Amino acid sequence: MSARVRIFGTVISTYTRIVQITCEEAGVSHETIATAAQSPENRHPFGKVPVVEVDGLELIESVAIAHYVDNAHNGGALQPDDHAQRAMMDKWIALANNYLFPLFEHGLVMPWIMHRVAGFPLEREKIDRALPQISRALGFIEAELANDGAWTNSDFDLADVFLYPILRGLELTPQGQVGIAQCDRIAAWLRECEKRPSIAATRWESEPD
């Protein structure tokens, strides 16, 4: 019987999309069951999303989920064989999860989502405080790409899977769009990623064409 992945998470979640992209790359059937992070229905012990059911397992934490799906159902195709390249992939996944996502999400992405979707006043002071740090982060990524290609020296791998939704979410805000437009290498990488069927198949409903 072919695998089927059930993803419990918010439908516009960065990490829900990361799991969706991984499933698409592996050719694994998947469905997303809309589940709010702090709802009673969410089985994550710390109120995060997504929670995934696959192969009789219940998995949490997107790194573990992505590695399992890729290893169990994709022959590890999203992970370089070369040890140095795999270390680079792991480095950028860690940077994405520990530094870039919290900075972008709390400083810019969520204020705009809460404003656009929920109608809350835009938290301009929070955005203004975060913008210098976001600018430095984008400058760091752009410089690393210019220096040695960063994570892009291997084929499309899990670093791309994690970084794309994080940077794309930032780009969908007005200030993020301006910032990324000034980073030629980041912008070119985003557009290259968007040629992949897995990226096109997992577009957010609110994402413009």
Quick one: 115 and 174 in the same domain? yes
Identity of the residue numbered 71: N
Quick one: 36 and 59 in the same domain? yes
**Last-in-domain residue among 14, 39, 73:** 73
Identity of the residue numbered 138: L
Reported as a pLDDT band with limits 50, 70 and 90, residue 171 is very high
Taking only the tens place, the pLDDT of each residue in 61-87 is 999 999 999 999 999 999 999 999 999
Taking only the tens place, the pLDDT of each residue in 30-69 is 999 999 998 999 999 999 999 999 999 999 999 999 999 9
Quick one: 158 and 62 in the same domain? no
At residue 23, the pLDDT reads 98
Quick one: 114 and 64 in the same domain? no
Q: Is 178 among the domain residues?
A: yes
Q: Is 207 among the domain residues?
A: no
Q: Give the CATH number, domain containing residue 45.
A: 3.40.30.10
The tokens for 163 are 């970084």
Q: Is the dihedral angle over the CA atoms 187, 199, 151, 173 positive or is it negative?
A: positive
Average pLDDT, the chain: 96
Number of domains in the chain: 2
pLDDT greater than 60 at residue 195: yes
Q: Is 34 among the domain residues?
A: yes
Q: Is 206 among the domain residues?
A: no
Collapsing DSSP to helix, strand or coil, 100 comes out as helix
HSE of 129, CA atoms in CB hemisphere, 13 A: 8
Q: Is 183 among the domain residues?
A: yes
What whole-number distance in Å separates Cα of residue 49 and Cα of residue 51? 6
Q: Is the dihedral angle over the CA atoms 128, 133, 135, 138 positive or is it negative?
A: negative
At residue 118, the pLDDT reads 83
Q: Is 50 among the domain residues?
A: yes
What whole-number distance in Å separates Cα of residue 37 and Cα of residue 51? 10
Print the domain residue range for 34. 4-73
Phi, psi of 45 (to 5 degrees): -65, -20
Torsion, Cα of 126, 128, 129, 135 (10° steps):
130
Q: Give the CATH number, domain containing residue 162.
A: 1.20.1050.10
Taking only the tens place, the pLDDT of each residue in 5-27 is 999 999 889 999 999 999 999 99
What whole-number distance in Å separates Cα of residue 68 and Cα of residue 195? 25
CB-count exposure of residue 35 (10 Å: 0-12, 13-18, 19+) = buried
Quick one: 62 and 110 in the same domain? no
At residue 131, the pLDDT reads 98
Q: Is 78 among the domain residues?
A: no
**Last-in-domain residue among 41, 73, 105:** 73
